[in-house]
Homo-oligomer: A and B are copies of this chain.
């Protein structure tokens, strides 16, 4: 039915405009200092309406990461199909990943908050699953690059791809946390990227086929 369809669409729009307002506020001031009343004011709806579309402030916060994940997924699909040595693709991916979260500081905080406090986020099973799914979808790229490297003989085949994916992901997240903490803008950014480059290239050296001949 056309009217029902329009209804659904309008509902989706309303939800999105709340999300958009919330996103802007959270990015400007962080989770704690943004009140639901503020979001309501910014989105030009009443507070009650917010709770018509979301169950809690935490859900709004989470939802922002989910939609960012989905958007981002489209942008990074290319990496796993990229030409050239897997090691270079991996470096490029890492650079992009770090760049993305340095530019979107608060998104990273959402990710970490979720990782560290998933139980206290009052999310439904569905929302939980969705967040995990979209996140996994994005980091799986690392596995794909690693696998390509193994297939072409560039990387040794004795590594557990999934585990290395997680180790690399962990390293990137850890480095980003470090940056967010030391916090300074500008110059610091370049140092972080240097750290990622150096750290990852050592890592790559460790899985390169020709550097471990004696171990095979």
Contact = CB atoms under 8 A, between A and B. Distances in A.
Contact of A211 (B112, B164, B180, B212): B212
Interface stretch (A43-51, A67-75, A194-202): A194-202
A166 B183 contact: no
A29 to B, nearest CB: 9
A205 interface: yes
Contact of A205 (B160, B166, B196, B212): B212
B183 A170 contact: no
A124 interface: no
A82 interface: no
A167 B191 CA distance: 12
Contacts of A194: 163
A178 B166 contact: yes
Contacts of A120: 30, 32-33
Given A118-B181, A120-B33, A212-B205, A167 B198 contact: yes
A114 B109 CA distance: 12
Contact of A181 (B116, B174, B198): B116
Given A112-B116, A119-B183, A203-B206, 18 more contacts: A30-B117, A109-B116, A114-B181, A116-B177, A118-B181, A163-B194, A164-B199, A164-B202, A167-B175, A167-B199, A169-B174, A170-B171, A170-B173, A172-B174, A174-B175, A174-B177, A203-B203, A211-B211
